[in-house]
Structure 1
Amino acid sequence: MSTVSRRNVSSPRELARIGDRISFIYLERCTVHREDNAITATDADGVTHIPSATIGTLLLGPGTRVTHQAMSLLGECGAGVVWVGEQGVRFYAGGRALTRSSRLVEAQATAWANRHTRLDVARAMCRLRFPEDDPSTRTRQELLNMEGRRVKECYRRESARTGVPWRRREYHPGNFSAGDPPNQAITAAAQCMYGIAHAVVVALGCTPGLGFVHSGHERSFVLDIADLYKADIGIPAAFDAAAQGDDDVASRTRRALRDRINATGLLDRCVQDIKNLLLGPNGSQETGEMPDQVTLQSDRGLLVESGRNYSDAEASKHMREEPVW
């Protein structure tokens, strides 16, 4: 039986805001299907029903199969879908944005395209992380130096707080177990934070590749945003997990991070920070109210209604009565 046009696609106003949703749900070794307006995860233990409109991002791990109907429902609800490695450690692919407005991505591209405004955003990011310092006159190298010193201080502070011995940061690509427990925990926390930041970035319609601190990678902006919360969310959660023992550090880190994300309202904070960085404090208040519409660019910054025929001056007089199709 055909399902084409059976139900209308929800408008942006009808969808739950990304800041009000569950940050992420991780599934592995199951089949994801649809039942009414919920998705189901079926495995050896039975069937679990998950309200699709409450999901920020669905992480699909190894052994998962997802049906077309499930993906259709997730798309209608604006939920992010990400294919990841085991326990969510690696990011492989992602889906669509929650918003249908291009305002944020246009603001991002405009700020990124000018090296002066690009530096302004980088300084604003630094100000978010280190509010007690004024970065307004800092060069890029000075910003990097500040970042390096503060992160080292954070490692030492968390080591002293939790009693976890700390030597130095070590990361071994492709060999997670080569690091000691605190380094494993930090790596697991970083990967989770990248996934969460990626979900918020694409949900807002921004482009992951146009970074203001990081550059040259398809997820440069994602790395920028994730780093905003490294010192107060990611690293403390990692050391808390490492302090509980050497076994199963990665899983404990993810659980600790989940609890900290929920307690701090990170998703809502992340959304607001991105809006403030790209639109400024005033413009950020208006984004959620933008209508679902498409316009055409004309001369002198004028935006005109789309779907109308502008073939000549005479036609433009009757543009409201003559659609393109």
Structure 2
Amino acid sequence: MLETQNWIKRYFDDETDAILIFANNDLIVCNRIANDLQKIVKIDPQYLLEVANTAVKQRFSQTDSCFSCAIKNHMQEISIPITLAQESAHPLRYFLVYRLIDKDDHVFSLTLKNRGVIKRMDQLAQQRQLNQYVNRAHEEERKRILQDLHDSIAQGVYSAIMGVRRLSEDVLTHDQVTELTREIEHQLNDTLTEVKGMALDIRPSVLDNFGLLPALRVLAKRLSENSGVNISVVGNAKTDNLSTDVQSVLYRIGQESINNALKHAQASEINILLVAHEHYIMLEIIDDGIGFDVPKHHRFNGRSLGLMNMNERIKALNGTFEIKSQPGSGTTVTAKFPVVLS
């Protein structure tokens, strides 16, 4: 038991966060780093207690001004930003975290956590979450492609194979052979069209060969012909200096935005603007459709990556993403990336 207590004490003293434990507002114990802060930075534990007291009063002023009562009745933990040694050349920025240990005896801890460390941990957590999302999105895309291959491409090829077998195995008249050959050719042409469409959806060659703006124009022309909706592309942006990742994401945003406007918005006109400014490039997709309530649609499109989830990919490339829409007022999708254009 004594050895266990020594381990706990060693762990408590070696903790990198400053921990102070109070009972009924009196300091009863603190770890090594908390002692160092008191000696070096001249931090008074009662000052930290007063900071926590004030924060609780502000947050729970509707109850009463009693610190102990507010804590006991309403919360187990509270976090308050605090800056120590403000007058020095290098102020110390922390989060002051209150944590209730024993409600009946009003024993609680105040912990000073370095804000820089917490920010870095949050960034790492967000990056892990983004990686998990991207992996899931890629898997969903693979499933969609597999389904398209099975439902459309494989069926078309199988139908052509059956036709070729008939040519080799059945006794057919000249007219029957001509008709069957025509059907097989038609089936293979349809399958080829499907394959080309899938290739365009995955990544159009014009994007690699000619750049973003021509690729958007080809996309708009193809979707306009298929849907009958007027889709125009206007822009003055030279995108040669954009990275491949940024161009790919901007193209996907245009693709997703147009597809969503066609599927859900009942739009009669869609305008795409690609504009280069001195320090950023901006893509806007504007439709005159029925619009929607943005906060209620966290997953705007369940198929492919989805427009709303594009936000994560854009942030990973230091861009910004915004959707403006209201029922009856159309939708505007905007993506902006900081760039240095020559």
Q: TM-score, normalised by structure 1?
A: 0.24
Highest RCO, 1 vs 2 (Cα 8 Å, sep ≥ 6):
1
**Greater Rg by CA:** 2
Q: Quick check: which one's strand share is greater?
A: 2
TM-score normalised by the chain length of structure 2: 0.23
